[in-house]
Structure 1
Amino acid sequence: MTEFNVRDFYARYMEALNAHEFDRMDEFVHDEIVLHSQPSSRDAVVAQLYSITDAVPDFHWETLDIAINGEVVAVRATNTGTPVKEWLGVPPSGKPINIEEYAIYTIRDGKFLHMSAVHDAETMRRQLIG
């Protein structure tokens, strides 16, 4: 049996996100999960990802820091892209956004079981308004 490498797992997850290969989320996310402290599903995660990239087709996630404590993973990332459609209630301004994200995950049996993230919403809204 090979040892599960959390860093490699997370790197593969980020590669799938940045390739917008959301059909691969079954490799990374359990069918039923806890998302932002609420019962949810992998289908909801996928729908959320598609809604982001529908409005921001060049949306890109970049891991800045990762901390691992057993099955808990904390990540600081930056998210970039240029909205081309209304997003989060704001029409596109043609200007790119660059926002910080802080995420906490729990991995069980080689997949995310709990997923939660916080963005700098104030900065994001300011950037969206242009």
Structure 2
Amino acid sequence: MSPDELRYWFEDYLEACNRHDLDALRSLLAPDVRRAGAPGGVDAWLRDVELLLEAFPDYRWKRIAVVIEGDRVAVHLRTRGTHRGTFHDVRATGRHVGAAEFGMFRVVGGRAVEYAGTGDEALLAQLRD
């Protein structure tokens, strides 16, 4: 994929995230996508997103920076949402939280095949304070 195609791929990915459109996300991820430190496969990825959105129904991602190199897309995002449901065993607090998120996608044939990035620690820290 060209750098422009990778940029468009990420724009589609980010828009699907912000629409909370799990079907669109599925079309952008390889069935056997690998994630550093998390269960692999598209179903596990989407289940984690679903749990996040159940806990933060207004969750949004904002692009700060995108860097393309080869078949990789590096991103810096800012996230925000209101804690309305249980998240990692923390009951709803009603708190509005936000965090910086960093990720590295490897994209082949229009689908992410690998991902490594920041986890949920920053959100959890805000909920437990």
TM, length-normalised to structure 2: 0.88
What is the match of residue 126 of structure 1?
125
Distance between the aligned counterparts of 1:88 and 1:32, measured in 2?
24
For the residue of structure 1 that corresponds to 2:118, the secondary structure is strand
Distance between the aligned counterparts of 1:129 and 1:53, measured in 2?
19
Distance between the aligned counterparts of 2:125 and 2:80, measured in 1?
14
- 1:102–1:91: structure 2 CA closer, same or farther, 3 Å change rule? same
Distance between the aligned counterparts of 2:85 and 2:58, measured in 1?
12
What is the match of residue 96 of structure 1?
96
Amino acid at match of 1:91: R
The number of residue pairs the alignment matches comes to: 128
Percent identity (aligned): 22
TM, length-normalised to structure 1: 0.88
Distance between the aligned counterparts of 1:52 and 1:82, measured in 2?
11
What is the match of residue 54 of structure 1?
54
CA offsets per residue over residues 34-70 of structure 1, 9 Å max, x none?
1115661111111111111011101111111111101
Amino acid at match of 2:28: F
Shift of 1:125: 2.8
CA offsets per residue over residues 78-106 of structure 1, 9 Å max, x none?
11101111212222221100111110110
What is the match of residue 6 of structure 1?
6
Does the 8 Å CA contact 2:39/2:45 hold for their aligned counterparts? no
The root-mean-square deviation of aligned C-alpha atoms, in Å, is 2.0
Q: 5+ residue gaps in structure 2?
A: none
